[in-house]
Amino acid sequence: MKLYSTLDRKVTEIVPIKKGQISMYSCGPTVYSRMQIGNIRAYVNWDILHRAFLYLGYNVKRIMNITDVGHMTSDDDFGSDFGEDKMDRQAQKEGLQPIDIANKYIDTVLDDFRDLNILSPSGETIPEDLNYEEVGEYGFTRATEYIEEMIDMIKKIEKNGYTYETKQALYFDVTKIKDYTIFTGQNLDEKNVGVREEVDVDPQKRNPADFVLWMKRYGKYKNHIMNWESPWGNGFPGWHIECSAMSTSLLGEYFDIHTGGVDHIPVHHTNERAQNIGAFNHPSVKYWVHNEWVVNKDESKISKSKGNVTYLPTLVELGFDPMDIRYFLLSINYRTRIQFSIEALEGAKNAREALVRRLRELGDTKGDVIPEYTGRFKKELENNLNMSGVLALINELLKEDLPQKDILATILDFDKVLALNLEECITKKEPMDIPSEINALLEKRMLVKEEKNYEEADRIRNQIENMGYRVLDTPKGQKLEKI
């Protein structure tokens, strides 16, 4: 397998530490809101990678964290430690406790993962009844359940001389790591510009780029709801330590692959790497791999803190099948930016439906997989997950003069990685061809329902009925039936 290694700055052969086994850690969701299409992309991408390793015969040991404490609103842009805790802020908005917010949104993550055929980190299909209580058994690790491991790791970092303490916090002194900015190649002064105002919040902080390992329940955070005892006083962990502590305590001091979005390169992963060196005197991650952003049409990043969000249930309500979203995201290489728009999604929907129709024409008997094609499929995967190559290969195979049942068996075999539910889709009845005027009306109805304008919603329902379709309001959104 070859992947783009961010530190090597090139596509690199992945040589696992233990032959035949891949240890992989994926930065997971911060559970203060539903996932938007950008987060979803990250998880679809790394699910494809996970499935590709399984298809290629590797044994995969994987962990994905769930951030339920300590991620500051300001962390994303500058790596400032002094914003508001995202969980706390949302808890206040919804009138709930932070832990209830976490539980609520973990369940939405599980719903979306299930709908999108994303495997659990442990490599299993996510069971229908799995909820926030048992996620740990499936390889999802909650930060609040690893406070002890974090404290242990911070103690090591402290003992090795990489920290200093102020009234407010225990900091990591980044000047102690000689190649601290290795990911970006920036010098420390450039990096400091973004976080300069921090010295106003904690005058004892030495270098603006230093980051918090443990924040004390003091000053601005005097009333922080989630808090634990520690050698540095009552408080809560900085955001970055959770990933270092969970990855190394579960995968070992050395592990193969660490995934995340490109937004994590300059701060979160830079700091994770520094912490690993601080604790173990050596880096822990062999290959860092990053997915590019999903952006709006104007190239601005889609993010849940900015409000311009797109959730899976909303897209389903607009008439998309979750498999359309999966197809859309997997058809583009993880290192390419994706411009998100409804038109682009419609293109993916059409392509996926055409594929399903074509597969139906192959009949309903499965033959044998065609080794030449499974071999080429593996090569495309191993080539830095060349998914456009995979889709081209499928098209080529569909044109081959070979037994139809073997072509079918081969493409269904590819679906172990694509996970587009192809077998289920071809046996399901033909999807309804919904006229675009009806889709537009459905979209409008969804919006007016959100504004609680039920009178208008009923009017649109009648209008759609006059055009020959009945609208049903289900927990998963609007459904259409032909009258």
Give the footprint of ligand AMP on this chain (CB under 6 A). 27, 29-30, 38-39, 41-42, 67, 260-261, 263-264, 291, 293-294, 301-303
- 221 or 239, CB closer to ligand AMP? 239
For 322, phi and psi rounded to 5 degrees? -55, -30
Task: Count the site residues for Zn ion by CB under 5 A.
Answer: 2
| Residue 126 interaction partner, one of ligand AMP, Zn ion, none, beta carbon < 5-8 Å per kind | none
CB-hemisphere CA count at 13 Å for 261? 21
Q: How far is the CB of 159 from ligand AMP (least distance, A)?
A: 30
Q: How far is the CB of 8 from Zn ion (least distance, A)?
A: 20
| Residue 12 interaction partner, one of Zn ion, ligand AMP, none, beta carbon < 5-8 Å per kind | none
Q: How far is the CB of 290 from ligand AMP (least distance, A)?
A: 8
Q: How far is the CB of 243 from Zn ion (least distance, A)?
A: 3
- 246 or 359, CB closer to Zn ion? 246
Q: How far is the CB of 362 from Zn ion (least distance, A)?
A: 43
Assigned token pair, 383: 């080539």
243 binds Zn ion (CB under 5 A): yes
Q: How far is the CB of 300 from ligand AMP (least distance, A)?
A: 9
- 91 or 302, CB closer to ligand AMP? 302
Give Cβ neighbours of residue 5 (< 8 Å, ≥ 6 apart).
11, 12, 287, 288, 289
| Residue 438 interaction partner, one of ligand AMP, Zn ion, none, beta carbon < 5-8 Å per kind | none
| Residue 121 interaction partner, one of ligand AMP, Zn ion, none, beta carbon < 5-8 Å per kind | none
Assigned token pair, 164: 């200093």
Q: Could you tell me which stretch among 20-28, 46-54, 202-210, 276-284 binds Zn ion (CB under 5 A)? A: 20-28
The interface mask with Zn ion, positions 26-65, x = CB under 5 A, is: -x--------------------------------------
- 265 or 398, CB closer to ligand AMP? 265
Reference 266, options 200, 197, 194, 333; nearest CA is 194
Residue with the CB atom nearest ligand AMP in the bound state: 261
| Residue 39 interaction partner, one of Zn ion, ligand AMP, none, beta carbon < 5-8 Å per kind | ligand AMP
- 261 or 278, CB closer to ligand AMP? 261
157 binds Zn ion (CB under 5 A): no
- 276 or 478, CB closer to Zn ion? 276
- 67 or 117, CB closer to Zn ion? 67
| Residue 42 interaction partner, one of ligand AMP, Zn ion, none, beta carbon < 5-8 Å per kind | ligand AMP
- 93 or 459, CB closer to ligand AMP? 93
Q: Could you tell me which stretch among 24-32, 105-113, 344-352, 421-429 binds Zn ion (CB under 5 A)? A: 24-32
Q: How far is the CB of 267 from Zn ion (least distance, A)?
A: 10
Query: Rounded to an integer, what distance in angstroms lies between the CA atom of residue 287 and that of residue 7?
Result: 7
Q: From residue 32, how far is each of 164, 180, 235 by CA, in Å?
A: 31, 30, 20
The interface mask with Zn ion, positions 251-290, x = CB under 5 A, is: ----------------------------------------
Query: Rounded to an integer, what distance in angstroms lies between the CA atom of residue 79 and that of residue 266?
Result: 9
Overall residue count recorded for the chain in this entry: 483
Query: What is the residue whose two structure tokens read 């049409």?
Result: 297
- Give the orientation angle of helix 270-280 with respect to helix 239-251, to 10 degrees: 60
Q: Could you tell me which stretch among 193-201, 242-250, 298-306, 445-453 binds Zn ion (CB under 5 A)? A: 242-250
Q: How far is the CB of 29 from ligand AMP (least distance, A)?
A: 4
Query: Rounded to an integer, what distance in angstroms lies between the CA atom of residue 122 and that of residue 418?
Result: 18
Residues 417-476 within binding reach of Zn ion (CB under 5 A): none
Q: How far is the CB of 268 from Zn ion (least distance, A)?
A: 5
Q: How far is the CB of 269 from Zn ion (least distance, A)?
A: 7
- What residues are paired with 12 via a beta bridge? 3
| Residue 243 interaction partner, one of Zn ion, ligand AMP, none, beta carbon < 5-8 Å per kind | Zn ion
- 336 or 395, CB closer to ligand AMP? 336
DSSP β-ladder status, 59-66 and 21-26: parallel
- 144 or 163, CB closer to ligand AMP? 144
* Interacting residues toward Zn ion by CB under 5 A: 27, 243
